[in-house]
Structure formats: structure tokens, C-alpha cells
Homo-oligomer: A and B are copies of this chain.
Amino acid sequence: MSKEAGFSGVIAPVLTPFGDDGSPDAERFVAHCEWLMEEGCTGLAPFGTTSEGNSLGLDERMELLEELVDSDIDPAVLMPGTGACALADAIVLARHAVDLGCGGVLALPPFYYKAPSEEGLFRFFAEMIEGVGDDKLKVYLYHIPPVAQVGFSLPLIGRLIKAFPDTVVGLKDSSGDWSNTAAILDAYPKLEVFPGSEIFLLDGLRKGGAGCISATCNVSAAAIRNVYDNWKGPDADKLQADITALRKAIQAFPMIPALKALIAHYRQDPGWARLRPPFTELPAAEAEKAIRTLADAHGFKLDFAKAA
């Protein structure tokens, strides 16, 4: 199946499973991606923050992406994270994604040096886009100041869109600040804007947003997709309230370890809980608490009956 250009809907920043030896586990990874698409994701963003993407080596990211493209998933629905502190690395990753037919790339700003100038960030992206040198490159700016510390100001977004109108086509806003998302939507109505949490999904859609790219899509894509599909309907606010409540319950735990613990539990596959340093697994008692709390208060469970 093929899709139109651009992204919309429910996109999962895919968790990365690791094997016994700590290396990425391609088999578990592809199986999870296929399950996510069955659950209702419209796109996948491997190698985002939730994916421990910046804890993966360049070669590891490229090999996993090749495995995914070799599966039944259309590369057009893939928006891999290609951010790197070094321009040279960012170009290698973005070109690789374009060559594999990925529909877009999710691009962090260089995040080692703090408080860079707008001009310096503009040049980084200009040189990255020119370095890839391919009209098929579609860049989604990845704004996540709580983690990267370096972000995209409104003027910088505007400069990049103006200079590269056919390439800089979208943005993920993981600021957690709805007023920032709203300001971007007001200023750049043609940009495909994705809040970084489904808490802002309905508000975003009502203001012209494209959907959401959210960590919790790894475990609750079906419910989030239901809001996306029915956002103009009479139950939209009720459906949104439900996914907001679930998201808040999940994010009361350390997000990435908790998501992996939930999948490990419901897949009956303890190895799924592994993380790469600097992350550590949720202690068993905390994992138990997360599973029980979510099940009791939200009827939460995962069904892998259909999965390979």
C-alpha cells in the first residue's frame, strides 16, 4: 500500500528492544512496528527520544532502518530520527533515510553546545539539507527543549520554511507547552504540526494540527487513533478525556522504562524491558505497580493475539 505525501494522524516514536548482549534486536523491533501499524498507527518515527535513538550508534540506526524497510511496512510511513550533534553524521543519516524511501526525517537541532544563535542553527539545517541534496528529503523539525535544551524559535522556523519551502514541511512540538504549539499553528498554517503528546491531540486538530507523535502511542495507539478518526464527532471530548487520563497515568512513571515494562509484561517477554545506559529498568515492584494501576483505573491491557 502507498500513501500520499506528508504525514498525519497517529505516529509512534518506536521503542527499541535490545537483545541479551545489549545490541538492538531487529526481530523484536520489526514485530513491534508491525503490531503498531495493526493497532492503528498511521506512521512510525523510529530513533526518536522514546526510542533511545541517541543511545544508538549511527550504524545501529541504519541497520535497524534497513530491516524495517525490508518488512511489509511501506517506507513512506516512516519518519526516522536523524538528528546528530555533528552535521556530517546528520547528513549521513538523512541521506540514508531518503535513499530507503522514507517519507520524512525527524531532525533534532545539534544539542551539545547550548544557547546557539539563530543564525548558527539556520546554517546547520541549511548545510544538512544542501548536503543531502535530494528533493525527496522532507524534514520535520524536532522541538524538544526539555531534553535537547536547544530548540526552534518561531523566527527560526519561519526562516527555514522560507528558505526550503518544499523540504521543511513539518514539526513535532514536544515542549509540553500548548501555547507554543498554538503559536506555531497560527504563524505557519501550512506546516504539518504534531504535538508531542496526545493530551493536545484534539486541541491541535481543531486548530489545524496534523495529529500527534507521542511516546504512549507505543501502548495505546488504538485509543488515540479513535480520537483522530472521530475528532469532529459528538464524542470527541469524551474520547479525548479518556486518552488524556491514561497518558497522565502512564507518565506518572518514568516513561521509557515503564513503556518497556508494560510490553514485556503483556508479551510475556521479560527481555523487552531492557534499556540502554544511561537508562535503567524499572524495579520489579514499580513495574508491578504500573501494570496494576493502569489495569485497575483504566482497564489497560495489551493484546498481542494478532501479532506475529
Query: Which residues of A come within 8 Å of B, CB atoms?
Result: 22, 49, 54-60, 84-89, 92, 109-114, 116-117, 119-121, 123-124, 127, 146-150, 276-280
CB-nearest residue of chain B to A55: B86
Oligomeric state, in number of copies? 2
Q: How far is the CA of A192 from the CA of B17 in the complex (A)?
A: 38
CB-nearest residue of chain B to A127: B277
| Nearest CB on B from A65, distance (A) | 15
Interface of A is mostly: loop
| Nearest CB on B from A77, distance (A) | 25
Given A109-B278, A277-B121: A87 in contact with B127 (beta carbons within 8 A): no
- Report B-chain residues with C-beta under 8 Å of the C-beta of A84: 57
CB-nearest residue of chain B to A114: B147
Given A54-B85, A54-B86: A278 in contact with B22 (beta carbons within 8 A): no
- Report B-chain residues with C-beta under 8 Å of the C-beta of A123: 277-278, 280
> Is B113 in contact with A54, judged by CB distance below 8 angstroms?
yes
> Is B110 in contact with A278, judged by CB distance below 8 angstroms?
yes
- Report B-chain residues with C-beta under 8 Å of the C-beta of A148: 112
> Is A278 in contact with B121, judged by CB distance below 8 angstroms?
yes
Q: How far is the CA of A184 from the CA of B273 in the complex (A)?
A: 36
| Nearest CB on B from A254, distance (A) | 9
In the complex, which of the residues B86, B146, B277, B280 contacts A60, with contact meaning CB atoms closer than 8 Å?
A: B86
| Nearest CB on B from A192, distance (A) | 25
> Is A55 in contact with B279, judged by CB distance below 8 angstroms?
no
CB-nearest residue of chain B to A279: B120
> Is A120 in contact with B280, judged by CB distance below 8 angstroms?
yes
CB-nearest residue of chain B to A254: B117
